């Protein structure tokens, strides 16, 4: 029998039964594109640079490597970087650099140990990436020994250097109340900013999230922030009409939380329900959000004036949800001077600064950060009863057991991913319980904010720079002075905290602040013509490029011609405001953001302040005239209009303690504490100066906001009723105002009193009484002086107020006369037309208005005598 050798037998590979070879398309494409792929792949491989992670992580890694290269070149005398470095080289670098770098926190003696760990990790990865060299076990052991020695020697600090303050919902409530109270009493350059900042802090506290989860993180310019489309406020499907505030429920989707920014489908979802209690309305995130949106026209229906309008529109919509006008707009927005940039997202630093400022203003002992709200939320939740989390979708080991998940799988969060988000209304439960556990933040009774905000003199700055051995090349530069000023103010805070002897907690302080009792409007009133058409000032135009042809296309053609038209006005541009994604109001500037309190009883001193009743001459800057026409007939303002501007009666607008009253209050308030606004206000009262050319650049208008009025500074002396729109005037008045002088002034007899029904005004002179009657109570009618020119009925008699409104209608309605304007709207008043010319065509030219009314000559026969005002006599 022949010997059998299996090697003599060959088998072919089995033929796959598939009708086509898997991956054949991609294989064929690689064959077809082989020349291009050879070049592109080599380029990619050769151009790889060291660094992994997000941009800020890469920057930190590259900074370590650049420092190490410098050390190798100058200290170790390495001729080139072709050869790898040893573990001892890394130790020598680390030992040197920790003594050079300056800790980010002031008064911190050494860098944190985590900084050294990060540098060690970067050097290790760089060695593998560049030289294919790993630290040997011996080198790793020596590095670990050096690290332990540095910690024990105090050259590296371990753990959190600053005390972690836990701001729970009780402390948050006190901080927000104090925030509103302060600005109501001290004035603000923009109520838009005050309300927005309160909203931003409350949302972060309610969601218990990081500031970077809702705002833009540093060096991140993608859409990694919360937008309005991520907030769904829906009406419960079981709700029958009429829909009420408590029938809403909100769903917040956080798409870019920490460690999930590269996994867009793994989102965090948090549910909230509205609050409707006068004690907590100020920390209701939904009420503040809708108030903010109403002020800026960001919620449907367009032109909504109240919360009820929003609810009615949501009911009528098919989705039964509150609709956003611009769903892709960021919720947290940047700031530019006194404006909000609604299309540019805020950085997390802005929110952290606001939280810190709120803490200082409230007297909280310690520097607050954004993480304090998150820590406080965790502490609140740990003190909630366990029944709160029964049946709300909390993923437990029982859920993992049903899914046959191992403990490791459960620990990784896979079971939670299967079960979905928790549906508990955690923030609402925190509000119900309002926990005030032991260890709540201390609150000092000292006036911390006034001490912190006190001006820092140049002498103080120079002393600080000398004592701290400042190494700045230019100690008088903006950054050097700013750094010194911040350090001095922080030192003031620390001294106050250390010297303060009386401390309380938020639970004992919050109830003392009653926001609905605080007035939010001034008694100064706008001219009546301005109320006809108030432009919306939310959109801040970008800086104009004068070399751009598109810009020239919008200029009045007569302005570009060689022949100058004396009637044409200059091109209107936004004055004093800048835009930019990185511009946020610094905490030093934020002190200007403040509000007003007022009364109605002394209104005649503002409407006709010929002379103050205490015998002092009224400053010209205190005069608030409401002129729209060619003479003084138009100064009258009746009581009904005043009530309408200062706030309707409770039965019309609702109790301010209710949620509707709360939203109405904060969507309307628009008193402005701005020096430039106060300077422009008297010019605005001149009939020849329009709203756009006077106060508009210094205030926000439109939507639900009241017409902007100047903040009134009032004298704090007991019994004194003096008020002014200029802070300087109040300072001058306060120098001589004492309780004795007030009593002496009140002892002066006021023999001239107004006899009109419901008016209690009294005057020391007959002249002032006559002016008061003429401006406030005049009912004498007269015809329009330009009836022939404009076709008015000469037999119609007008009161001064009616005549002012009538003159605004001369030549209107009319359409835009700008060449090429496609707008077919008929404008009913001058202000609306002027606003259109400015916004759409970047011009403000009288040449496009209907022919102006000829003004009477200033002197001689054309000077008219006011009815009811006698010639000046000795008794006046």
Task: Judge if 689 and 759 occupy the same domain.
Answer: no
The residue whose two tokens read 């109040």 is: 730
User: Structural domain of residue 138, as residue ranges?
Assistant: 55-152
Start-to-end CA span in the chain (Å): 151
pLDDT tens track for 567-626: 322 222 232 323 333 323 333 333 333 333 333 233 222 222 222 333 333 333 333 322
Residue 516 lies in a domain: yes
Task: Judge if 324 and 359 occupy the same domain.
Answer: yes
Residue 415 lies in a domain: no
Cα–Cα distance, 842 to 236 (Å, whole number):
47
815: pLDDT strictly greater than 90: no
127: pLDDT strictly greater than 80: yes
- Out of 108, 123, 152, a domain closes at 152
Structural domain count of the chain = 4
Task: Judge if 226 and 114 occupy the same domain.
Answer: no
* DSSP conformational letter for 532: T
Max mean pLDDT range (356-365, 404-413, 507-516, 631-640): 356-365
Higher pLDDT, 795 or 816: 816
Weakest-pLDDT range from 127-136, 276-285, 343-352, 655-664: 655-664
Task: Judge if 651 and 529 occupy the same domain.
Answer: yes
Check if the beta carbon of residue 254 is closer than 8 Å to that of residue 214.
yes
Task: Judge if 105 and 125 occupy the same domain.
Answer: yes
Stretch 43-57: mean pLDDT, rounded? 88
Strand partners, 763: 752
Cα–Cα distance, 767 to 610 (Å, whole number):
9
Task: Judge if 199 and 314 occupy the same domain.
Answer: yes
Residue 27 lies in a domain: no
Task: Judge if 313 and 373 occupy the same domain.
Answer: yes
Which candidate, 382, 316, 426, places its Cα nearest to that of 166?
A: 382
Specify the pLDDT at position 685.
64
Task: Judge if 704 and 778 occupy the same domain.
Answer: no
Specify the pLDDT at position 597.
30
Confidence (pTM): 0.70
Check if the beta carbon of residue 691 is closer than 8 Å to that of residue 832.
no
Three-state DSSP class for residue 310? helix
Contacts of 29 (CB under 8 A, 6+ apart): none
* DSSP conformational letter for 791: T
* DSSP conformational letter for 851: P
Task: Judge if 645 and 517 occupy the same domain.
Answer: yes
Specify the pLDDT at position 689.
72
Residue 375 lies in a domain: yes
- Give the mean pLDDT of the chain: 76
Residue 461 lies in a domain: yes
Give the up-direction half-sphere exposure of residue 402: CA atoms within 13 A in the CB hemisphere: 8
- Out of 126, 152, 178, a domain closes at 152
Residue 112 lies in a domain: yes
- Out of 152, 178, 204, a domain closes at 152
Res. 688 pLDDT band, cuts 50 70 90:
low
Task: Judge if 584 and 440 occupy the same domain.
Answer: yes
Q: Which helix (H) or strand (E) holds 763?
A: strand 762-763
Contacts of 231 (CB under 8 A, 6+ apart): 250, 251, 252, 253, 289, 324, 331
- DSSP states along 692-746: TTTTGGGS--STTPPPPEEPPEE--STT---EES-HHHHHHHHHH--HHHHHHHH
Res. 50 pLDDT band, cuts 50 70 90:
very high
pLDDT tens track for 761-789: 777 788 888 877 776 676 666 788 777 77
Residue 742 lies in a domain: no
Task: Judge if 99 and 234 occupy the same domain.
Answer: no
Token duo for residue 720: 């004194």
Res. 519 pLDDT band, cuts 50 70 90:
low
Task: Judge if 243 and 379 occupy the same domain.
Answer: yes
Weakest-pLDDT range from 319-323, 352-356, 468-472, 871-875: 871-875
Residue 740 lies in a domain: no
């Amino acid at each position: 029998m022949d010997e059998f050798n299996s090697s003599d037998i060959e088998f072919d590979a089995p033929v796959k039964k598939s009708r086509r070879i898997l991956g054949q398309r991609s294989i064929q494409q690689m064959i077809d594109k082989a020349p291009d792929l050879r070049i592109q792949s080599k380029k990619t491989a050769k151009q790889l640079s060291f660094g992994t992670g997000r941009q800020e992580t890469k920057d930190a890694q590259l900074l370590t490597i650049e420092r190490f290269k410098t050390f190798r070149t100058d200290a170790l005398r390495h001729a080139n970087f072709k050869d790898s470095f040893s573990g001892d080289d890394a130790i020598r670098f680390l030992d040197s650099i920790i003594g050079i770098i300056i800790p980010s926190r002031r008064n911190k003696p050494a860098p944190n140990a985590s900084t050294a760990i990060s540098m060690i990790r970067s050097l290790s990865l760089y060695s593998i990436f560049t030289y294919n060299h790993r630290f040997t076990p011996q080198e790793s052991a020596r590095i670990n020994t050096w690290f332990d020695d540095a910690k024990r020697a105090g050259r590296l600090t371990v753990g959190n250097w600053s005390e972690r303050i836990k701001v729970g919902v009780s402390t948050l409530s006190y901080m927000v109340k104090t925030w509103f109270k302060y600005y109501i009493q001290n004035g603000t350059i923009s109520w838009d900013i005050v309300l927005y900042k309160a909203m931003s802090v409350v949302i972060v506290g309610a969601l218990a999230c990081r500031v970077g989860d809702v705002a833009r993180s540093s060096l991140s310019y993608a859409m990694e922030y919360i937008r309005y489309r991520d907030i769904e406020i829906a009406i419960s499907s079981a709700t029958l009409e009429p829909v009420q505030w408590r029938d809403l429920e909100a769903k917040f989707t956080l798409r870019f939380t920490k460690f999930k920014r590269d996994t867009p489908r793994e989102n965090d979802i948090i549910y909230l329900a509205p609050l409707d209690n006068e004690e907590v309305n100020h920390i209701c995130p939904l009420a503040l959000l809708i108030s903010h949106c109403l002020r800026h026209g960001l919620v449907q229906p367009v032109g909504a004036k109240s919360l009820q309008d929003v609810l009615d529109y949501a009911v009528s919509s098919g989705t039964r949800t509150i609709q956003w006008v611009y769903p892709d707009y960021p919720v947290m927005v940047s700031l530019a001077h006194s404006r909000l940039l609604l299309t540019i997202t805020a950085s997390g630093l802005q929110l952290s600064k606001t939280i810190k400022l709120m803490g200082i203003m409230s007297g909280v002992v310690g520097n607050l950060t954004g993480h304090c709200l998150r820590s406080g939320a965790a502490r609140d939740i740990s003190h909630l009863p366990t029944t709160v989390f029964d049946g709300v979708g909390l993923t437990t080991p029982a859920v993992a057991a049903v899914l046959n998940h191992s403990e490791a799988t459960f620990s990784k969060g896979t079971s939670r991913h299967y079960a979905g988000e928790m549906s508990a209304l955690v923030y609402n439960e925190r509000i119900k319980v309002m926990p005030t556990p032991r260890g709540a933040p201390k609150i000092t009774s000292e006036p911390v904010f006034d001490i912190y905000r006190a001006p820092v003199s140049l002498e103080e700055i120079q002393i600080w720079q000398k004592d701290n051995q400042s190494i700045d090349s230019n100690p008088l530069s903006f950054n050097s002075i700013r750094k010194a000023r911040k350090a001095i103010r922080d030192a003031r805070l620390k001294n106050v905290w250390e010297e303060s002897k009386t401390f309380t907690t938020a639970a004992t302080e919050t109830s003392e602040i009653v926001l609905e009792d605080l007035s939010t409007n001034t008694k100064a009133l706008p001219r009546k013509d301005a109320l006809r058409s108030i432009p919306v000032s939310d959109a801040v135009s970008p800086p104009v490029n004068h070399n751009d042809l598109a810009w020239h296309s919008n200029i009045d053609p007569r302005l570009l011609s060689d022949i100058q038209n004396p009637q044409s006005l200059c091109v209107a541009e936004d004055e004093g405001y800048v835009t930019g994604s990185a511009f946020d109001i610094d905490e030093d500037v934020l002190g200007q953001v403040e509000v007003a309190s007022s009364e109605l009883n002394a209104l005649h001193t503002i409407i006709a302040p010929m002379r103050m009743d205490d015998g002092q001459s009224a400053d010209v800057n205190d005069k608030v005239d409401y002129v729209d026409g060619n003479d003084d007939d138009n100064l009258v303002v009746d009581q009904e209009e005043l009530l309408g501007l200062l706030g309707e009666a409770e039965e019309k607008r609702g109790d301010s303690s209710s949620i509707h009253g709360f939203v109405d209050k904060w969507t309307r308030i628009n008193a402005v504490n701005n020096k430039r606004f106060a300077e422009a206000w008297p010019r605005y009262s001149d009939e020849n100066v329009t709203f756009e050319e006077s106060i508009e650049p210094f205030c926000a208008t439109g939507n639900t906001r009241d017409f902007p009025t100047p903040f009134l500074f009032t004298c704090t002396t007991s019994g004194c009723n003096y008020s002014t729109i200029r802070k300087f005037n109040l300072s001058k008045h306060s120098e001589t105002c004492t309780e004795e002088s007030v009593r002496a002034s009140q002892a002066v007899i006021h023999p001239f009193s107004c006899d009109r029904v419901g008016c209690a005004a009294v005057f020391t002179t007959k002249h002032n009484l006559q002016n008061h009657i003429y401006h406030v109570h005049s009912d004498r009618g007269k015809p329009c002086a330009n009836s022939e020119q404009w076709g008015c009925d000469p037999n119609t008699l007008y009161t001064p107020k009616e005549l002012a409104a009538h003159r605004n209608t001369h030549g209107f309605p009319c359409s835009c006369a700008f060449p090429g304007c496609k707008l077919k709207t008929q404008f009913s008043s001058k202000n609306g037309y002027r606003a259109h010319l400015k916004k759409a065509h970047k011009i403000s030219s009288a040449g496009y208005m209907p022919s102006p009314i000829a003004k009477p000559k200033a002197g001689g026969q054309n000077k008219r005598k006011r009815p009811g005002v006698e010639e000046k006599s000795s008794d006046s």
